[in-house]
Amino acid sequence: MNKRIQNMADNRAKLITAARKAFAEKGYTGASMDDLTADAGLTRGALYHNFGDKRGLLAAVVEQIDSDMAMRAHAIGAKEQDEFQALLAEGAAYIRMALEPEVQRIVLLDGPAVLGDPSQWPSQSSCLQATRITIERLIAQGVIKTVDAEAAARLLSGAALNAALWIAASPNPQDVMPKAIEAFKLLASGLLKHDS
């Protein structure tokens, strides 16, 4: 029963899936809503009914990817014993994830350009929140210096983002990746109370 809400949820999922592909491949502006809805076996009518407009669709896609990223990063960080090592591991994980075209194109390039500051997205950027919480814990533990956790999280994620852009655009990503991660760890170590 309640076949309608079930169908609606299915169609929403279909549209988001098609949009992820279209946005990743052609970028936000380059993606045609007629094309991507047809790809999902629907029309623009469904899209506007479910998401309001093209931006709304992008917001839904971003939320999904961002939530995925936060889960993956958290899982990677959880493997580390040391909390600070977990922070570094999460950062490195973000850098690696940011190499995926879907993440880079949709979340890192078009997302901010179309939706504005990530901290004010509907999803409120799960990645950012996770990093901030980790930093707050490290401050409480006395491992890193007293600093505004939000600020530190923003700067670290920004550093990771640009590292990823650089790596992805470089002709030999495998070569520059370790340099970027090394630099990232160095910057992050600036937060430590005692030099390692």
Q: Which residues bind a second copy (CB under 8 A)?
A: 27-29, 109-110, 112-114, 116-120, 145, 147-148, 150-152, 154-163, 165-166, 168-169, 176, 179-180, 182-184, 186-192, 194-195
Q: Which is nearer to DNA, 34 or 148 (CB)?
A: 34
The binder of 16, among a second copy, DNA, none, by C-beta within 5 to 8 A per type, is: none
Instruction: Please identify, using beta-carbon distances, which residue of 3 and 79 lies nearer to DNA.
Output: 3
Residue matched to tokens 């999904």: 64
4 binds DNA per the rule CB under 7 A: yes
State residue 79 phi and psi, 5-degree precision.
Answer: -75, -25
170 within 8 A of 176, measured Cβ to Cβ: yes
Tell me if 88 sits within 8 A of 191, measured CB to CB.
no
Q: Judged by CB under 7 A, does residue 113 bind DNA?
A: no
What's the CA gap between 78 and 62, in Å, rounded? 24
Contacts of 146 (CB under 8 A, 6+ apart): 139
**CB 62, min distance to DNA, A:** 16
**Dihedrals φ, ψ of 33, to 5°?**
-70, -35
Can residue 35 be called a binding residue for DNA (CB under 7 A)?
A: yes
Question: Does residue 179 belong to the site contacting DNA (CB under 7 A)?
Answer: no
